[in-house]
Structure 1
Amino acid sequence: MAVPFIVQPRGRPRRAADGRAESPHRDDQAARADLGPLAPYLADGGVTDLFVNGTAGLFVDRGSGPEREASWRASEREVRDLATALIARGGRHIDEATPCVDVRLTGGLRVHAVLPPVSSGGTALSIRIPRLAHADLAGLCRGGTFAAEVRDWLIEVVRARRNVLVTGAAGTGKTTLLAAMLSHAPANERIVTIEDVAELRIAHPHHIALEVRQPNLEGVGEIGLARLVRESLRMRPDRIVVGECRGEEVRELLTALNTGHDGGAGTLHASGLDDVPARLEALGALAGMDDHAVARQVESAIAFVLHLKRDRAGQRRLARVGRFRESGQRLGIEEVEPWR
């Protein structure tokens, strides 16, 4: 079917009284306005991701992988107009000079767009719909992510101010688990989170969210993750959290966690628990750290690694828990079950 156009840009997403983006459940009308012709999929509680692949069509993930929507029809011009409008709603601009843009919309909706010729098959849109934005550990336990004894242990990890690294592939629930854990931090603690695109929504009264600023049309004004981690140290945080370590900011995070900032956390993309040391060594190299320095810093900074997986049926679960160890001046890891 034809796509009903055009969605008019609306500026920055609406915000709740606490300054955070409102959820689709609290402001469903605004969220639907954000998605425009894709709004009907917001009402489907099973949809977690939407992918528009130019004129090749729309693919919808309802938990078991993307499936093509046979009824969807849109020209390249219509898809590009939709991408432009969605990015504008997030307060940014996309064109030939800036063909790849990532924004956050109402309720945590995350939109990534790529224009041709970078996307050779036409304008590509990837939209993530947060369905467990306010999930707690009890809810995740009921949903099968982990057993009750593991839930109790995770709460103890937070209350004991142990530093953790949450790992897994894209869409495994890293952000959801981390937000659920941090909601158990004492109310008198100050949590500062640093993310490329702010997605962590924590049920906590003292949460400060810092978000990367992209360069403007003249290519200036960028504020990256590494600088935000350094800035957060001046904000007297009780807990520092980096939403996704992907570059040199890993050095600043490890430095912070090794200098008295306990109870911190980060997330990291990794295929398996055994792959985490190599990923950290690679990120450390980007920050000018050799393997021995990475091993010493990580082993003393991170108490536990929580690795998540998502099976073919869409079930997300805490698959393995690890603890770092130094092995011949290189970083190693061993699986543990500390709740037993």
Structure 2
Amino acid sequence: MSFGRRSDGTPAASGRDIPPSASSPQVHENVVAFADAGHVDSDAEFDAGLEPTQFEEKIVAAIHDGDGAEGASRGEVAALVARTAEKVLGRGYRKLNQIEQRDLITRVLNQVYVAPVRAEPAEPVASLTPENMSTGNPDPASAYSLENLKTEKRQVSKVVEDARRKVQPELVERIDVGTAVTLPREELEAQIADIVTEILHEEKLQLNQFEQQDLIKVLLDEMLGLGPLEPLLADEDITDIMVNGYNQIYIERFGKLELTDVAFRDNKHVMNISTRIVSHIGRRIDESNPLVDARLADGSRVNIIIPPLAIDGPTISIRKFAKKKITLDVMEDQNNLSTAMAKVLRISARAQLNILISGGTGSGKTTLLNALSQMIDHGERVVTIEDAAELQLQQPHVVRLETRPANLEGQGAITMRDLLKNALRMRPDRIILGEVRGSEAVDMLQAMNTGHEGSMCTVHANRPREALTRLENMVGMAGINLPAKAVRTQIAAALDIIVQVSRMRDGVRRITHVMEVVGMEGDVVTTQDLFVFKYEGDDPSGRITGTYEYSGVRPHLTTKAEYFGLGRALTEALR
């Protein structure tokens, strides 16, 4: 199937990524041809045997040998690049067409601004790492290069956006969008490239090679992806994306919030992307249902809220699902917990202890839950229950359940409580509840107390003891009139371990407490700390320092660890 073809029958430029330093083969062939024909000025420093990138290297070196670029504007430097290219390449440069000249000038400008060639050895430029980013004091040379990159990006983005406004309506007229979105991305990309080249020619729009590639990518992202959010989703250093209206998008990178220069066209554009997100999982977003929890295809968690509830326009919050598999070993390497803590948590999960993970928003509760779930034996049947499925269990025998909101008539809603009650009839060995938020707490406690040992869940709380109080309050939401002591007795019998996770002010997520639930004394649930993170201070980069300390008490879980043959491993872990 073909959506379009260039009028001259030649293949269109591909939208695939090309390294920034790579020259167009056509530029190289034209210059070589002109040189072979004897059309190069006698004073030109041109060598037809050079590789394409060496043309650019010679031009960049020639520019830095002089001082014409110092303090000049980008336009003035572009003119200097053109003059230098003509000198270096001779009349071979003048014979290039306008687009080929622009391609060459753009690539050389990138190298002039981003990777300067100096005659004198320069001091090493510090790269931007999470550490020096967090201090807010990057190296001045790095900051200069970054500022020029941002300026250049804005200039290119405006050119591409202007072209998109003219090309996209015409593109939609020439393709069957319904059929197009079913094609593999590579095939669709090649066909879109053909049509875009044709439209650019018809509209007399001049874009260089890289601008045309950017245009094709923007169009593909609009058709197949989430529009301007796609580059942010592809960046593995970004953990959260927050859209506060069409023209304000924040990200979290290395634990710190940053305002990006990415923007939607208008609030209608944000609504279109929001509708695309929720429709993939059979949900809707409109004035009658103005807030939705959803997920992306990769498991990333999404929350969307729109006017009239969101005053400044549609708001999208995306918690990205890490492509890198996070294990307890990885968390240990990142100093999110100590070696002893990791060993005790592994033993707790293998010994079928009921575990509650407590923490604030964005503290890493789900990440830790995924890591602990890797300790579950592959012979066990596990049922997971979530509002928006995001857990990624690796076991072969997993049943994933997801709640469902009501339809337009307000009917058909399936809640956490409904799914929990049903899960008890599915012969699960363990039940994993993504997050306890309300009356389902009573059903979760009953499941833990009725033979489904090794179950796990998360709850929002800032301290381990507060997590117990929250559970007690949520049991009350079920409308069951039980004395406080009866509720606490049920909590004490159900839970074995509470793990507290915190995102600290340096952006690092740490396990601050591993606490055992021991039993009851009078009307109070008794607990004991096994491990606590002790804050000691800040290092010069602003990173928090501290130690993970073992309390020295004999774990209450020892008996169960011994039953599963893990008693010696527990003893060695606590030495």
**Same fold per superposition (TM over 0.5):** yes
User: Could you say which structure has the higher helix fraction?
Assistant: 2
Aligned-residue offset at 1:61: 0.9
Distance 2:494 2:324 in 1: 28
1:326 corresponds, among 520, 541, 544, to 520
Where 1:235 maps in the other structure, the secondary structure is coil
The reply on whether 1:63 has 2:254 as its aligned counterpart is: yes
CA contact (8 A) 1:154 1:181 kept: yes
Unaligned residue ranges in structure 2 (runs of 5+)? 1-156, 180-219, 532-554, 556-572
CA contact (8 A) 1:291 1:330 kept: no
Distance 1:35 1:290 in 2: 50
Normalised by the length of structure 1, the TM-score is: 0.87
Aligned-residue offset at 1:291: 2.1
Match of 1:25 in 2: none
> Which protein has greater RCO, CA pairs closer than 8 Å, 6+ apart?
1
Where 1:306 maps in the other structure, the secondary structure is strand
Q: Deviations 1:201-239 (Å, cap 9, x if unpaired)? A: 112111111111111122111110011111111111111
Cα RMSD for the two superposed structures: 2.5
Distance 1:320 1:330 in 2: 20
Q: Deviations 1:71-108 (Å, cap 9, x if unpaired)? A: 53532222222222222233211111111111112110
> Kindly, what percent of the aligned residue pairs are identical?
35
The reply on whether 1:74 has 2:265 as its aligned counterpart is: yes
Aligned-residue offset at 1:186: 1.3
Where 1:166 maps in the other structure, the secondary structure is strand
Q: Which amino acid aligns with 1:54?
A: G
Distance 2:451 2:457 in 1: 16
The reply on whether 1:148 has 2:148 as its aligned counterpart is: no
Match of 1:297 in 2: 490
Normalised by the length of structure 2, the TM-score is: 0.53
Distance 2:486 2:315 in 1: 40
Match of 1:14 in 2: none
Cα separation, partners in 2 of 1:332 and 1:68, compared to 1, 3 Å: farther
Counterparts of residues 263-278 of structure 1 (less than 5 Å): 263-278=454-469
1:249 corresponds, among 440, 459, 462, to 440
Match of 2:370 in 1: 179
Aligned-residue offset at 1:308: 0.4
Q: Deviations 1:258-290 (Å, cap 9, x if unpaired)? A: 111111111101112231122112111102244
Aligned-residue offset at 1:36: 2.6
Distance 1:133 1:217 in 2: 39
Between 60-69 and 295-304, report the one with greater CA deviation. 60-69
Where 1:103 maps in the other structure, the secondary structure is strand
Match of 1:139 in 2: 330
Distance 1:182 1:205 in 2: 12
Cα separation, partners in 2 of 1:71 and 1:188, compared to 1, 3 Å: closer
CA contact (8 A) 2:439 2:477 kept: yes
Aligned-residue offset at 1:133: 6.4
Where 1:307 maps in the other structure, the secondary structure is strand
Distance 1:33 1:143 in 2: 35
Distance 2:491 2:300 in 1: 32
Distance 2:324 2:521 in 1: 38
CA contact (8 A) 2:405 2:412 kept: yes
User: Could you say which structure has the higher strand fraction?
Assistant: 1
Match of 1:13 in 2: none
CA contact (8 A) 1:58 1:68 kept: yes
Where 1:86 maps in the other structure, the secondary structure is helix
Match of 1:285 in 2: 476
Where 1:106 maps in the other structure, the secondary structure is coil
Where 1:266 maps in the other structure, the secondary structure is strand
CA contact (8 A) 2:383 2:401 kept: yes
CA contact (8 A) 2:228 2:264 kept: no
* Greater Rg over alpha carbons, structure: 2
Distance 2:370 2:235 in 1: 23
Distance 2:254 2:423 in 1: 36
Aligned-residue offset at 1:45: 1.2
Distance 2:437 2:384 in 1: 15
The reply on whether 1:125 has 2:316 as its aligned counterpart is: yes
Distance 1:109 1:34 in 2: 14
CA contact (8 A) 2:441 2:475 kept: yes
Match of 1:16 in 2: none
Match of 1:309 in 2: 502
Distance 1:110 1:261 in 2: 27
